[in-house]
A = this chain, B = another copy of it.
């Protein structure tokens, strides 16, 4: 029963209330372990984090997708897709998504929701948006590079809690299509996306989509509700019959939800020594189970932890 049990730190386990309850209140920021210090596990690193290593989700940048299975919490990324964030908030506040459905679940790729009839009026929201597929990689854009090379981009790393990439030669940065990332579907025209149809990556990172479509945020809680949706049997995983649709009760901006009904969450800041220690612990697993540390980590294999505030 314990076979394989020790092999990998449980992804997302800290999302469960209390998992990191042993957090030391006096724990300070932790530098990436130099080789002469004993290696620490991710759990030990998290237990030693300081309160300042975490940031609360901004309610104005947080969406609640209410499904029969429960609530999915999405953090928007206005630094990378500002106009999409504005449009999505507008759609949400018009209750555009309420009563629509998840209409697609393609194995090892994405789930997608929106209006299956594509008829619901967008109201005050824009029907077309600029293609926010990359942003200028200015000095003002935080970027914590991974030490490792990447195949799809000149640099990869993290920006304000999101997996990201950067091309210094072109002066561009963009979010990367890792598991749990949320994007805005579009048709062939680059400006045809508007946030009314959203998808979430549920499989191996489809990084070929990077720079081709606007990523707008990340699921920070509830991925397991989306990843287990029955796969659609139509082309591209679309559900073939309306009775297969998974209904969306509502989508809300957290700021519009009474405080008592919000899901309190904070995210480990990716610009901290604690996060860099997590990255190093994932690059080289040193517990008793591993024989060969990889000496490498894919940008999509670094967990960005969220937890209820202690």
Measured CB to CB, the residues of A under 8 A from B are: 1-8, 10-13, 16, 103, 106-110, 112, 114-118, 133, 148-152, 178-180, 183, 185-188, 190, 192-193, 197, 199, 203-213, 223-224, 227-231, 233, 235-238, 282, 285, 288-294, 296-298, 300-301
Asked if A179 and B108 make an inter-chain contact with CB atoms under 8 angstroms apart, the answer reads yes
Q: Which residues of B contact A188 (CB under 8 A)?
A: 6, 288-289
Q: How far is the CA of A193 from the CA of B289 in the complex (A)?
A: 12
Q: Which residues of B contact A294 (CB under 8 A)?
A: 152, 207-208, 210
Q: Which residues of B contact A2 (CB under 8 A)?
A: 187
Asked if A1 and B151 make an inter-chain contact with CB atoms under 8 angstroms apart, the answer reads no
For the complex, would chain A's binding face be called helix, strand, loop or mixed by DSSP majority?
loop
Given A7-B213, A8-B236, 7 extra CB contacts under 8 A:
A3-B186, A4-B197, A11-B107, A13-B236, A151-B296, A204-B205, A204-B301
Asked if A107 and B223 make an inter-chain contact with CB atoms under 8 angstroms apart, the answer reads yes
26 sample A-B contacts, Cβ–Cβ < 8 Å, listed by A number: A1-B103, A1-B117, A3-B193, A3-B197, A4-B112, A5-B235, A5-B236, A7-B212, A8-B109, A10-B109, A10-B236, A10-B237, A11-B203, A107-B227, A108-B180, A108-B227, A151-B297, A188-B289, A204-B204, A205-B298, A211-B291, A211-B292, A212-B290, A212-B291, A228-B229, A228-B231
